[in-house]
């Protein structure tokens, strides 16, 4: 590899040919501030915050570090007086059209613009003039767009493009430029899949998750309501980041303790629902293989992916498993089996889910998600919203003792835990199918489908038959898979897992926000997923059908077995063909 020698603030560093100044600076231990930059996704040099002075033998001149390549012998100054003044002026210009309500903004103290203004001593707006005003877009169940706080960095546009859907982009020109939908449609009138990836990359409060926590506080304070929480597998691996704990810390016990202190009546583990999903899904797969059903079968636990399929591949919906997601299955069982066992009217239960996913806010309002005649889940909040609730309640999260989930939905398996990582659903399902059809007593380790790559494939022998499986995460990877299905499934896949978010739930749109400098240099997906695989490895039960809670449920409630009439009524759903060209 050809290497180039450069100096960053007098520090000699050798970097590969083709590196940018930003990359060279990071190699030298210097972080150059950015606002628009996203490694490999949004490298456009638009915000001008990353400017530096570079000397290639003709004297120092100002260039943008994120896109300017280094050359042999280059000298770079990242913090000269001229550069600090330039950045401060740029920040003042950005603020001249920015809605400055930092005290009430959802991103206060976690806003990249706010931090830079503090770092560079920007205290006043030194530029007046025209200031555009925009109405807030509340049209979707999962997010709020406030273009008055938008800085036109286009990170959200890049994230939406990575998801293939590209429903947002730059409109108009000059001072009127704004990020929005074509023809000024509301976001709800576009084929948005509700993945929320735009919210985790936005550096300001222009895109925020719709806050549903007030509904929970109201329910907790209502003596007639029984408030039941459930938490998704991946939340335990990410919630700690809300409290400055190391990325990838498993905080399951502290999470339960915190929710209990919020005033929840019961706290159940959505891992139970994940195990339930697997036994139903594995049974469905086996039935399809045996009886000539539609193959390949595709997982249905990611509501963003389901919505993607409904919009972009409605003619292939028959390939989706009819199983509800773990969130909805858990909610259904709470309001049917658990409610009856405890003599509680389902109408008095407020079912709250804590999810890594903004699309879960959309999912709870879907049709055919009401096993007891009322919504399976009433309120879905994100990991970030739970963090906010814990802060607001004055709970010292880091110093909490570890506590356990409530029964009867406390027992889980390693197969359920890995649901939060891309490939986890596939591996969990194959473990159970392998046990049922091959008589295996040890869990299958499907290493080929692990990792953060967008599309992975493997071959597995189930019931004496070799089947080919595929795992995709992100809208772009989903498109590759679905286009191959439209072409006749040339790769011969039998079972496919698709997650809407790159890397799966650990990288969902509702997960804690990390500054872009961290996202560029740390593989969040891999570090967070490791916490789940580590937990799986150390568990006694690692296959979903081994769960005592699952066995008890079928013995007492779903007595006609996996995929039986009662289970199908409560735990399975249907889909809607959506025309992305018709509003």
pLDDT for 583 = 57
| Boundaries of every domain in the chain | 3-93, 131-209, 214-571
pLDDT for 582 = 67
Determine the topology of domain 214-571 in CATH.
Rossmann fold (3.40.50)
pLDDT for 433 = 85
Q: How many CB atoms lie within 10 A of CB 548?
A: 11
Alpha carbon distance 436, 425 (integer Å): 17
The pLDDT tens digits of the residues spanning 477-507 come to: 999 999 999 999 999 999 999 999 999 999 9
Q: What is the dihedral of CA 202, 204, 207, 209, to 10 degrees?
A: 100
Q: Residue 146 is inside which H or E element, if any?
A: none
At how many degrees (to 10) do helices 112-119 and 81-95 cross? Answer: 130
pLDDT for 353 = 98
pTM value surpassing 0.85? yes
Determine the topology of domain 131-209 in CATH.
Alpha-Beta Plaits (3.30.70)
DSSP-assigned states of every residue in 56-104: SSS-EEEEETTTPBP-TT-EEESS-HHHHHHHHHHHHHHHTTS---TTT
Residue 573 near residue 369, CB atoms below 8 Å = yes
List the chain residues with pLDDT less than 50.
none
Q: Residue 14 is inside which H or E element, if any?
A: strand 11-16
The pLDDT tens digits of the residues spanning 461-472 come to: 877 778 899 999
DSSP-assigned states of every residue in 365-413: TSSS--TTSS-S-SEEEEHHHHHHHHHHTT--GGGPPP--PPTTS----
Residue 193 near residue 165, CB atoms below 8 Å = yes
| Core vs surface per residue 375-400: b (16+ CB within 10 A) or e | bbbbbbbbbbbbbbbbeeeebebeeb
In sequence order, what are the residues at sequence separation of 6 or more whose Cβ sits closer than 8 angstroms to the Cβ of residue 65?
Answer: 20, 21, 22, 25, 32, 34, 50, 51, 52, 76, 78
Residue 353 near residue 303, CB atoms below 8 Å = no
Residue 567 near residue 323, CB atoms below 8 Å = no
pLDDT for 467 = 87
Alpha carbon distance 278, 473 (integer Å): 19
In sequence order, what are the residues at sequence separation of 6 or more whose Cβ sits closer than 8 angstroms to the Cβ of residue 463?
Answer: 286, 289, 433, 437, 438
Residue 501 near residue 357, CB atoms below 8 Å = yes
Q: Which two tokens stand for residue 129?
A: 């003039």
| Core vs surface per residue 251-290: b (16+ CB within 10 A) or e | bbebbbbbbbbbebbbbbbbbbbbbbbbbbbbbbbbebbe
CATH architecture of 3-93: Roll (3.10)
Specify burial of residue 229 (Cβ count, 10 A radius: 0-12, 13-18, 19+). Answer: buried
């Amino acid at each position: 590899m050809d290497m180039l020698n450069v100096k960053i603030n007098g520090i000699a560093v050798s970097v590969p040919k083709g590196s940018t100044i930003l990359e060279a600076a990071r190699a030298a231990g210097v972080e150059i501030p950015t606002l628009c930059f996203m490694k490999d996704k949004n490298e456009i040099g638009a915000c001008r915050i990353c400017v530096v002075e570079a000397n290639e033998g003709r004297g120092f001149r100002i260039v943008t570090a994120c896109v300017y390549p280094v050359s042999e012998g280059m000298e770079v100054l990242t913090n000269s007086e001229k550069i600090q003044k330039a950045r401060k002026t740029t920040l003042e210009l950005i603020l001249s059209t920015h809605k400055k309500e930092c005290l009430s903004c959802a991103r206060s103290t976690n806003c990249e613009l706010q931090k830079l203004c503090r770092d560079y001593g920007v205290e006043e707006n030194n530029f007046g003039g025209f200031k555009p005003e925009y109405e807030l877009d509340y049209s979707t169940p999962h997010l709020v767009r406030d273009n008055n706080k938008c800085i036109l960095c286009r990170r959200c546009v890049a994230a939406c493009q990575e998801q293939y859907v590209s429903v947002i982009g730059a409109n108009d020109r000059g001072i009127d430029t704004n990020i929005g939908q074509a023809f000024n449609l509301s976001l709800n009138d576009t084929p948005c899949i509700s993945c929320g990836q735009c919210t985790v990359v936005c550096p300001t409060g222009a895109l925020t998750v719709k806050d549903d926590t007030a509904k929970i506080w109201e329910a907790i304070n209502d003596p007639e309501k029984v408030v039941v929480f459930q938490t998704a597998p991946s939340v335990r691996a990410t919630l700690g980041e809300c409290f400055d704990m190391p990325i990838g810390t498993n905080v399951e016990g502290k999470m339960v303790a915190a929710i209990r202190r919020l005033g929840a009546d019961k706290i159940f583990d959505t891992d139970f629902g994940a195990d339930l999903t697997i036994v139903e899904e594995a049974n469905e797969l086996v039935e399809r293989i045996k009886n000539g059903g539609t193959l390949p079968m595709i997982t249905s636990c990611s509501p963003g992916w389901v919505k993607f399929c409904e919009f972009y591949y409605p003619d292939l919906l028959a390939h989706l498993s009819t199983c509800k997601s773990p969130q909805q299955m858990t909610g259904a069982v709470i309001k049917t089996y658990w409610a009856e066992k405890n003599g509680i009217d389902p109408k008095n239960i407020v079912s709250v889910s804590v999810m890594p996913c903004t699309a879960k806010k959309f999912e709870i309002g879907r049709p055919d998600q009401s096993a007891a005649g009322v919504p399976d889940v009433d309120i879905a909040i994100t990991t970030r919203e739970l963090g906010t609730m814990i802060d607001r309640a004055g709970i010292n999260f880091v110093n909490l003792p570890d506590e356990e989930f409530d029964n009867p939905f406390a027992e889980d398996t390693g197969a359920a835990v890995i649901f939060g990582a891309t490939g986890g659903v596939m591996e969990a399902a194959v473990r159970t199918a392998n046990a049922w059809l091959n008589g295996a007593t040890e869990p299958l380790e499907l290493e080929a489908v692990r990792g953060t790559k967008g599309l992975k494939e493997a071959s597995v022998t189930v019931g004496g038959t070799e089947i080919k499986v595929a795992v995709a995460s992100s809208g772009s990877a989903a498109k590759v898979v679905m286009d191959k299905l439209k072409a006749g499934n040339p790769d011969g896949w039998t079972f496919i897992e698709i997650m809407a978010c790159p890397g799966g739930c650990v990288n969902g749109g509702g997960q804690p926000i990390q500054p872009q400098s961290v996202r560029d240099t740390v593989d969040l997906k891999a570090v967070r997923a490791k916490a789940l695989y580590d937990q799986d490895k150390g568990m006694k039960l690692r296959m979903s059908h081994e769960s005592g809670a699952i066995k008890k449920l079928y013995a007492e409630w779903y007595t006609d077995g996996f995929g039986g009439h009662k289970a199908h009524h409560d735990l399975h759903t249907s889909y809607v063909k959506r025309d992305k060209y018709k509003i």
